[in-house]
Amino acid sequence: MYTMSLAFLIIGFSAVQASLTEDACETVAEWRQPTEAYTPSDELVEVVQDVGPQVFYTVRCNETQETRPCAGIQNGLESHCETRFNLVMALTYVKQAGAKRSHLNDIIRDAKIERPTKWQMIKIPGQCVCTGLRAVRRRQTRLFDALLL
Q: What is the pLDDT of residues 46-60, one digit of tens each?
A: 999 988 899 999 999
CATH number at residue 56: 2.10.90.10
128 found inside a domain: yes
Does 133 fall in a domain? yes
Q: Establish how many alpha carbons lie within 13 A of residue 46's alpha carbon, considering only the half-sphere containing its beta carbon.
A: 10
The helix/strand/coil state of 11 is helix
Residue 7 has pLDDT above 80, yes or no: no
Show the domain range for 41. 24-140
**Total number of domains constituting the chain:** 1
Backbone angles phi, psi at 105, to 5 degrees: -70, -20
Q: State mean pLDDT over 127-148.
A: 70
Residue 17 belongs to a domain: no
The whole-number pLDDT of residue 34 equals: 96
Predicted TM-score (pTM) of the model is 0.63
* Structural domain contains residue 92: yes
99 falls within a domain:
yes
The gap from C-alpha 91 to its chain's centroid, in whole angstroms, comes to 22
Note whether residue 72 is domain-resident. Answer: yes
pLDDT top residue among 71 and 114: 71
Higher pLDDT, 32 or 76: 32
Report the DSSP beta bridge partners of residue 46.
36
User: Backbone dihedral region of 42: left (phi > 0), alpha (psi from -120 to 50 degrees) or beta?
Assistant: left
35 is a domain residue:
yes
The partner residues of 123 in beta bridges, in order of sequence, read: 87
